[in-house]
Structure 1
């Protein structure tokens, strides 16, 4: 694979395929009109379920022949490329690569040079039905032990179909089959063993942190530094992160600002969730069933139904039921989801896709309870390591269990339309509407630092109406290059707005009439990557964002008039890419992004609400992506520096004197001036990431990923948020959680302290081996280990270590058997082998990760 494994496979790719079929020799109905090579092989890959990789330097400007009839893949490619000067090599059971005729002839001089299809069976590469490892790091294959060479992964990280090895940013790719096979239900499980990525349980679901940026602000209170974009739609609430991921194609995690590429102006990064689309001309389906400890039952199914040559629908659904990880019982998870997609593609230029998704969150699960502020998810006090306790998931019988019963529904409708004018110009349009309804019934005893139930519950069966109502609208228009353009560019307009009202009945001091929040964002953004030479490309991008927020506050039972505030910001991206060799690229980027500020509690002294500023991140990254040794070793690395202003954070301390004067604030104090303020901090981060994958043999795959980071709050800060703090520096305050001194004030110097979710060093090592049988069946077994140094979960640097997570190891193992027919697979897995309890958040009640879980999964394919 010397020549092909280098320049052809590592050049800018035209496409990748979908799921594999039993054999490429099987005839099928194929109807592909004459068009560009890139578009034609894309359609063939979709119709036949194979992977076809084409280097644009070979295919640019070439037109295929029309192909119609009942043909095999080989016959279709022969007719399609006849007379084009191109040839095809079969690189695996379901994979092909297109090269120039002279390239193929040079690789195999004993074969005749002619315009016929040239097929040469190479060492088998990974197919889409190989069992995947639990997680896939940036640029690695989606399957372990598949063959001698590392298959390319095509991502849309830059809003272009592009080989991940040619994307000038750090990208982590997680294969959808891993999520399904191991019944990963939420992002806390999916990201539990990835360096530099964390998911923390928060009200409404999970917040995602990438390289320390993300924040522990409750979902809906402000936009996150890291945006979760599901099928092109960002939602300020995070219900989908708790329901479960199903029929997923892949997840792409992009680190750092993405303001000139995506609609959401995410200064910490983007998590791009991509689910499977309908496939024209192919009936297929999958069904997966999982059973595990803690009474885990999860089912997932999808069916693809072609309706003629131009129309197809895909129906998918999932349900999960799991008992509590905590003792006494608290945290049971019950959720169901359904998604329907319809694709209409009358010709090669136009496509229309409509999506409807319904999610239901029930139970009282970690991440399901939307209002867990007074919910004790772990023992009342856990300083240092909660693993010092005999049972980290147990609670004292004297501490009764708070109960939040969720019943929340989410409806999402998405419309996507695309039209390709030429190889140089295409238009995409997206419109979505989301609505959330429901809430919770809550029985709350005492604040989390209390240890006695002698006084009974504070309130019983209170109605918490988190979405009364909630509406979100997203619109995006994007002009960009077509598939045959040498210049990659995007020019987009983005609109996003939402309205959310919250109220509570029968909730003692928390009872309040509706408080309404609205936000509207309008932005124009664009980016271009221009090839100065065949090896050197320049990157330039810009964005202008306009944000408008309104709030109606409750002040001692009186609804104030609406207040509003406006923000706007200019962001940029610039840099270059240089191909040192066909297998190696270096890049540099400088970029910025921001998340807007907002309004917090009403200040009765001024008659206006307190406000907080916008968070801004100026980021610099230099990196390299490489393949070595006949495409069997991959090494990617990058060095990054973030310079942040107004890092948004919640003040956890309630013992300050409010602006209107009087006594100090107590926990649950109804006075407006005692509401928890949000404030900004100056911060900076310097770090390095590296990912290594080696196909040691065709059946042995080793990966090693590591991150080192030095992330601190600046020594010189602005105005301190805590009123009664000592002088001589910027301090923050925190109310002690110790049983002996509950609620006692504690001050700490935040200047120069470490940012939360920023361990100094973290790494993951994985190994998978494939056993192959003469029958064609295979058995994949392996696992991974994750290590991290200690870190603060939140900037609450209390002396007792309540907010500190000590260093730890996590281990996972899995095995999968797939018969030669590939009609089904059987898997077994164990996650968190040592049953180590990981602190996820302290806001203010702690939440922790899952204990040891194990189970089995069976998947069927047709």
Structure 2
């Protein structure tokens, strides 16, 4: 509490860098597409954005959007997609394991993604939609800016997204310019980063731009997890074929290696049937001791292993929970794309073809698994064409889009006494045509209409081999217990796993002798009455085809009250197509839909020294898809997408920046969010035996669970009325930037703060699913010449070393784990531009 009081006092003195980034600091200035650009007086700069497929300043974009320049991203320490929430208050990025980040905007999103799920937030790099969010981790190299659009993108963007879009836009080659930049950074956790950029002319009409970066860092967690080992390269060629035609070619390559994300142990939900004092019905939370639960300790420390071994048991084998597999990561991504711009006088044509490939090879613990192994190959081809022009008072844009993605994967999810082995091939083909019309009723008043038709076809061919160890020793009191029967080792395939077991554990013969490997096999040493356990292997084939088609649209009105004051109102629809799960009993899910009403205003005052933007919004969300850990039809933990219901999302956002003096910049952002599930329900299989009484082995959830009796008992789980996930009621960002002239040098200091109220970061709404409120402070000092290219920056982020949970969920053995945002980091960065 004292720490928060201190930080709260600091809040009254400073404003944060992020919303400033999100709206205006040190952008490239006014573009040719800026309405009233020549009328805007000197003062604050604005960022030029292309979120509406045209160049305009951020202050003139009549849409809900945040943006940050490449320099601002560097100063904030945003070196990959997982740190984007530092520059966009509405955006949350979480990573539960491997290379599968999840994105949320105002409660709309997924905890994580895999080879057969689609994100709610569209991720676009250099104008190309990225189907697998995993391949966004190492793409932040030599950036011009990042744009974060809030709300459904149902008209202009590649594949429809219900929550928003993130546009990552690199710097492009400049004709006739020879220059570049080199920089190096070193900090705590033995972290370093080396970056080089070169722009070079090749004749009068050709230019090249090359960029590369390498970064490494020791793990944030005591067990060595949470490290970084990244490489990224990009090369571009720009051809000015004529005064009306230019072609830009781009290729990039990146790798992500090392250990990968870490997870902390909070405690264990232990079975405590019909205990009136239990934390939740039939389950009592046993908190881990301080030397285990202390943030950034890690699941692989000896003390964490001892606590889990002594406290947790994993049904249905009930053997000691020991031997978590240590994680590793070796991922590779590359892609090629082009942009063709043709000026035909009254018509501008843009064509963007692209090909991308990602290879994932991960082993991770995720929501405390013994070990999850992921080997995926994803390839995608896309092409987008847009034509735009004007006819009298009508501005028009027409476009077409085609996307074809194939993913082949081998995954296994080991939860000690159960393992799911997945082999899958998926194909997705999406075709769309779209258009937008802007009718200028007057010079200051415009009506906008957008329409998109999307047709998506998809297929899956998958094989699931489920492996379970079932203990047959049931004492008179207490749960079954098979301490002499080992849990399953970690392997990529069923055969890999079984080959690691001692053949003596199969007194009736090894399952490896069976073809296919299916059925029940005596497992473990014989007891007085026979085998102590059974090994049960169950194969399932999932072969399905499906598709969706939908029309989405946008209606808006924009009015320039003055050249510096804009108001707008819009209604937009969005949808996200359905899909498949490799989960028994949950093989398919349906599309989701969202309707969004927005009323906004963007304003410049006092000769453009104060900019203040306001937004009020209301979203209706139907058929909501949520990808999270759950229980499949056989009682095994599984990650899958389900349609959980409906929600209403209401809120307001205000951001500003104020050039108080020529050398003092204040900036801030405040968001209020009321995101509530009007309807949130699903059904889960009952894992108890038929001889057990009703409401005995209830689900581990903080929601209402109602027993459903029948041939197969189950529970109806109702979370209606709960707050949306990753949707804090209050977000407040404040910061100050002060420049001090020192003769031929200048010293610039920044002090930034960010407050977020409590948010739910765990799907099950358990008492341990909350983050609590947090407040972080960042600071930096930059010294550079007034004229010249070098600079030196000292920085410290998360000054008070706040532990900020980004994901909390229960895994194998009902072990509760937490993933954190980075702890305190500091360092020195040196750079030189030439």
Interval of TM-score (by shorter of Structure 1 and Structure 2): 0.7 to 0.9
Asked if the contact 2:403–2:430 (Cα under 8 Å) also holds between the matched residues in 1, the reply is yes
* Equivalent position to 2:304, from 399, 420, 437: 399
Q: In structure 1, how many angstroms separate the alpha carbons of the residues matched to 2:118 and 2:381?
A: 15
Asked if the contact 1:519–1:547 (Cα under 8 Å) also holds between the matched residues in 2, the reply is yes
**2:671 corresponds to 1:766:** no
Asked if the contact 1:222–1:236 (Cα under 8 Å) also holds between the matched residues in 2, the reply is no
Asked if the contact 1:282–1:305 (Cα under 8 Å) also holds between the matched residues in 2, the reply is yes
- State the secondary structure of the residue aligned to 2:160: coil
Asked if the contact 1:578–1:587 (Cα under 8 Å) also holds between the matched residues in 2, the reply is yes
Q: Root-mean-square deviation (CA), in Å?
A: 3.3
**2:383 corresponds to 1:475:** yes
CA displacement at 1:721 relative to structure 2: 3.1
* 1:85-141 Cα distance to aligned partner (Å, 9 max, x none): xxxxxxxxxxxx757xxx9xxxxxxxxxxxxxxxxxx9xx6xxxxxxxxxxxxxxxx
When residues 361 and 646 of structure 1 are mapped into structure 2, their CA distance, relative to the original with a 3 A threshold, is same
Q: In structure 2, how many angstroms separate the alpha carbons of the residues matched to 1:810 and 1:486?
A: 49
TM-score normalised to structure 1 length: 0.73
Q: In structure 2, how many angstroms separate the alpha carbons of the residues matched to 1:292 and 1:525?
A: 48
CA displacement at 1:387 relative to structure 2: 13
Q: Report the equivalent of 2:577.
A: 596
**2:554 corresponds to 1:576:** no
When residues 417 and 376 of structure 1 are mapped into structure 2, their CA distance, relative to the original with a 3 A threshold, is same
CA displacement at 1:364 relative to structure 2: 1.4
* 1:540-560 Cα distance to aligned partner (Å, 9 max, x none): 011111111111121437573
Spell out the pairing of 1:127-138 with structure 2 (5 A cutoff): none
Q: In structure 2, how many angstroms separate the alpha carbons of the residues matched to 1:592 and 1:693?
A: 31
**2:130 corresponds to 1:222:** no
Spell out the pairing of 1:175-574 with structure 2 (5 A cutoff): 175-181=69-75, 183-192=77-86, 194-203=88-97, 204-243=99-138, 245-366=140-261, 376-377=263-264, 391-395=294-298, 396-400=301-305, 402-422=325-345, 424-440=346-362, 448=368, 464-467=373-376, 469-481=377-389, 487-504=394-411, 510=419, 512=421, 514-556=423-465, 560=541, 562-574=543-555
Asked if the contact 2:422–2:462 (Cα under 8 Å) also holds between the matched residues in 1, the reply is no
- State the secondary structure of the residue aligned to 1:188: helix
CA displacement at 1:802 relative to structure 2: 2.0
CA displacement at 1:489 relative to structure 2: 2.8
Indicate the larger mover: 758-767 or 592-601: 592-601
Asked if the contact 1:193–1:786 (Cα under 8 Å) also holds between the matched residues in 2, the reply is no
CA displacement at 1:575 relative to structure 2: 1.2
CA displacement at 1:644 relative to structure 2: 0.6
CA displacement at 1:308 relative to structure 2: 0.9
- State the secondary structure of the residue aligned to 2:682: coil
When residues 628 and 239 of structure 1 are mapped into structure 2, their CA distance, relative to the original with a 3 A threshold, is same
Structure 1's unaligned 5+ residue stretches are 1-17, 21-49, 59-96, 104-121, 126-148, 367-374, 450-457, 659-663, 669-674, 727-731, 737-744
When residues 345 and 202 of structure 1 are mapped into structure 2, their CA distance, relative to the original with a 3 A threshold, is farther
* Equivalent position to 2:610, from 626, 633, 641: 633
Q: In structure 2, how many angstroms separate the alpha carbons of the residues matched to 1:233 and 1:153?
A: 21
* Equivalent position to 1:836, from 802, 805, 818: 802
Asked if the contact 2:146–2:168 (Cα under 8 Å) also holds between the matched residues in 1, the reply is yes
CA displacement at 1:391 relative to structure 2: 3.1
Q: In structure 2, how many angstroms separate the alpha carbons of the residues matched to 1:394 and 1:542?
A: 51
Q: In structure 2, how many angstroms separate the alpha carbons of the residues matched to 1:57 and 1:691?
A: 22
* 1:509-557 Cα distance to aligned partner (Å, 9 max, x none): 6474631122111111111222110110000011111111111121437
CA displacement at 1:779 relative to structure 2: 0.9
Q: Report the equivalent of 1:707.
A: 671
- State the secondary structure of the residue aligned to 2:108: coil
* 1:180-213 Cα distance to aligned partner (Å, 9 max, x none): 3454322332323642221111442422222121
Asked if the contact 1:735–1:746 (Cα under 8 Å) also holds between the matched residues in 2, the reply is no
* Equivalent position to 1:691, from 655, 662, 668: 655
Asked if the contact 1:239–1:361 (Cα under 8 Å) also holds between the matched residues in 2, the reply is no
When residues 504 and 150 of structure 1 are mapped into structure 2, their CA distance, relative to the original with a 3 A threshold, is closer
TM-score normalised to structure 2 length: 0.75
Q: In structure 1, how many angstroms separate the alpha carbons of the residues matched to 2:139 and 2:453?
A: 34
Q: In structure 1, how many angstroms separate the alpha carbons of the residues matched to 2:147 and 2:460?
A: 34
Q: Report the equivalent of 2:594.
A: 617
CA displacement at 1:411 relative to structure 2: 1.2
* 1:226-248 Cα distance to aligned partner (Å, 9 max, x none): 11111011212223432251101
Asked if the contact 1:793–1:839 (Cα under 8 Å) also holds between the matched residues in 2, the reply is yes
Q: Report the equivalent of 1:172.
A: 66
Q: In structure 2, how many angstroms separate the alpha carbons of the residues matched to 1:386 and 1:537?
A: 60
* 1:822-848 Cα distance to aligned partner (Å, 9 max, x none): 211100111111111111123554311
Q: In structure 1, how many angstroms separate the alpha carbons of the residues matched to 2:58 and 2:776?
A: 28
CA displacement at 1:653 relative to structure 2: 4.0
* 1:43-76 Cα distance to aligned partner (Å, 9 max, x none): xxxxxxx857558779xxxxxxxxxxxxxxxxxx
Q: In structure 2, how many angstroms separate the alpha carbons of the residues matched to 1:178 and 1:791?
A: 27
CA displacement at 1:404 relative to structure 2: 1.9
When residues 834 and 350 of structure 1 are mapped into structure 2, their CA distance, relative to the original with a 3 A threshold, is same
* Equivalent position to 2:684, from 722, 727, 733: 722
- State the secondary structure of the residue aligned to 1:797: coil
Q: In structure 2, how many angstroms separate the alpha carbons of the residues matched to 1:831 and 1:387?
A: 28
Q: In structure 2, how many angstroms separate the alpha carbons of the residues matched to 1:222 and 1:164?
A: 32
**2:626 corresponds to 1:649:** yes
Asked if the contact 1:220–1:236 (Cα under 8 Å) also holds between the matched residues in 2, the reply is no
Asked if the contact 2:378–2:407 (Cα under 8 Å) also holds between the matched residues in 1, the reply is yes
* Equivalent position to 1:665, from 611, 631, 635: 635
**2:819 corresponds to 1:851:** no
When residues 504 and 772 of structure 1 are mapped into structure 2, their CA distance, relative to the original with a 3 A threshold, is same
* 1:270-313 Cα distance to aligned partner (Å, 9 max, x none): 11110000000110101111101001001111100101111000
Q: In structure 1, how many angstroms separate the alpha carbons of the residues matched to 2:289 and 2:584?
A: 42
When residues 693 and 394 of structure 1 are mapped into structure 2, their CA distance, relative to the original with a 3 A threshold, is same
Higher relative contact order (CA 8 A, sep 6+): 2
When residues 161 and 205 of structure 1 are mapped into structure 2, their CA distance, relative to the original with a 3 A threshold, is same
When residues 733 and 344 of structure 1 are mapped into structure 2, their CA distance, relative to the original with a 3 A threshold, is farther
When residues 429 and 380 of structure 1 are mapped into structure 2, their CA distance, relative to the original with a 3 A threshold, is farther
